[in-house]
Chain A
């Protein structure tokens, strides 16, 4: 049981962060430094509970809020950059935050922040993920979610519908950063320590791998990618660098064969149509 929990809890927590990345991608942005917000949330939550002695739920909320504010500020400042240049800016941000955190003695330097109260178990991780899914499902159906996708598909068309692209993208990035912050807080309270390597570039890339392979079209893609790629290597006992090399190869292959990822709307529609017993008309074929 303990072994299962030790594998599942980090996976559930990662899934929350990847959902955050999904929200950012839904607004047409790509964050290649998403783990920075995981770290910001983790450190903020850890600092609040260690130094102020506040209960864990309060520190978690503080971590989420701080991470979301940082995300909003960043997105606002970098909004003039378009697609991959924005992604490179997130990469630079992650490198900057990582360097700052490893160098500051107040945050424990390279060894990290210790003695964070333990709180997160299986129940809390599941609850956190459920809350994140609920938020994302609500968002997808909401006015804001539709505005995000409109901005992603055509900024010009969105503008003509009186949608402010900057505002929508900043909100999306703040929500995404907030979810990553929640994941970071849960993680800090599950192992009692948060350290710079928790927010390394490798982690950021892993989140990108999970989302891109799973699929950027649906929130289910984010979950599918995270669970598939976190649990499968555990089952087949694939380790360390082989795993990352295999992920790299898989990522390239998926991008070439299925640029939108493994889970897309079409698959869900097909499954639904199986249950309904009628044949779906593929919108892309009717043109």
Chain B
């Protein structure tokens, strides 16, 4: 019993990170109406930047914010160079063009990083407390608790920003209808850019958590984790932040329990099969929101 609870806690820690990735997708899709595959690479940028910075002798307390900053700048760059033409320019006609272009950016970035830094996995550069915490009969992995804490804090801040600030209101207005938002005096371009940067920050945080939980990072980690974040976003109802969080946590727990009690070899197969079944039974997602036609 204690063992099962411990597995559920690790599952929640992993699932929290999936939720952050999915939230990044929800935010960008909300304001852009483009499914930005290149977002998966924000997961990889932060840990790889962290590896470079710590190798240069910069202490972790400085390197972590710098790595996240690199991710945010990366996200902004991807948007300005690769996606903005589709929002304003000639590519507007087909819905597939921006989707395929974002695939192209993703391919470019991961292979560029792999060429420059080597494609082999490396270990997470920061040493985290490794001794298990004993609480009653439970043995808790400290990394899991740190991850859960980070996820909870991020979610609270995100909820405050989206619900309580002017920027949050502007973002929701743009997601609802960009033309009307512009008529209310909201700078749509600026709001979209800041939203994309916030989404990249979420991706960066989740990337650091994935790397810390698995003790490893690699240039090709983005698509592996990002694909699950994408499916969480779709299952959560595409436009629903709460759906993304609940589905993400659920997926993490399912994965953790599958790995322990069913099969570690077939973990991903079972995960995708479950997701697939859910997608077919409830194509509008588990928590379909009410806004906009943008849903599967």
Contacts and interface: CB of A to CB of B under 8 A. Distances in A.
Interface of A: 30, 32, 77-78, 80-89, 91-93, 95-96, 99-100, 103, 201, 205, 208-209, 212, 240-242, 244-245, 247-253, 255-257, 259-260
Contact of A201 (B223, B263, B269): B223
B100 A251 contact: yes
Given A78-B280, A83-B95, A92-B276, A252 B269 contact: no
Interface string B101-128: 1011111110110110001000000000
A209 B93 CA distance: 19
Contact of B101 (A32, A244, A251): A251
A251 B107 contact: yes
Contacts of A247: 104, 107-108
B85 A248 contact: no
Contact of B272 (A84, A96, A256, A259): A96
Contacts of A82: 296
Contacts of B272: 92-93, 95-96, 99
Interface stretch (B142-150, B163-171, B226-234): B226-234
8 contacts: A81-B283, A100-B266, A241-B112, A251-B100, A251-B107, A259-B90, A259-B93, A259-B96
Given A81-B296, A99-B269, A209 B104 contact: yes
A252 B99 contact: no
Nearest to A102: B265
A148 to B, nearest CB: 16
Contacts of B107: 205, 209, 244-245, 247-248, 251
Interface string B247-282: 000000000000000010110110011011001100
A63 B265 CA distance: 26
A221 to B, nearest CB: 14
A84 B91 contact: no
B35 interface: yes
Contact of B283 (A80, A91, A93, A252): A80
B119 A241 contact: yes
B108 A245 contact: yes
A85 B234 contact: yes
A89 B278 CA distance: 11
Interface residues of B, number: 48
A99 B114 contact: no
Closest 10 pairs (CB-CB, A-B): A248-B108, A251-B104, A248-B107, A85-B296, A259-B97, A255-B101, A96-B272, A252-B104, A245-B111, A99-B269
A103 B275 CA distance: 19
B86 A205 contact: no
Nearest to B114: A241
Contacts of A30: 96, 99-100
Contacts of B91: 255-256, 259
B82 interface: yes
A249 B220 CA distance: 17
Contact of B108 (A88, A96, A208, A252): A252
B103 A32 contact: yes
B115 A241 contact: yes
B83 to A, nearest CB: 9
B136 interface: no
Contacts of B98: 255
Contact of B115 (A81, A88, A91, A245): A245
A248 B81 CA distance: 13
A78, A209, A251, A260 interface centre (most CB from chain B within 10 Å): A251
A103 B103 contact: no
A249 B273 contact: no
Contacts of A240: 115
Given A84-B35, A88-B231, A103-B265, A96 B273 contact: yes
B94 interface: yes
B89 interface: yes
Contact of B234 (A88, A253, A257, A259): A88
B170 to A, nearest CB: 26
Contact of A84 (B95, B223, B275, B279): B95
Contacts of B234: 85, 88
Contacts of A77: 276, 280
Nearest to A100: B269
B210 to A, nearest CB: 17
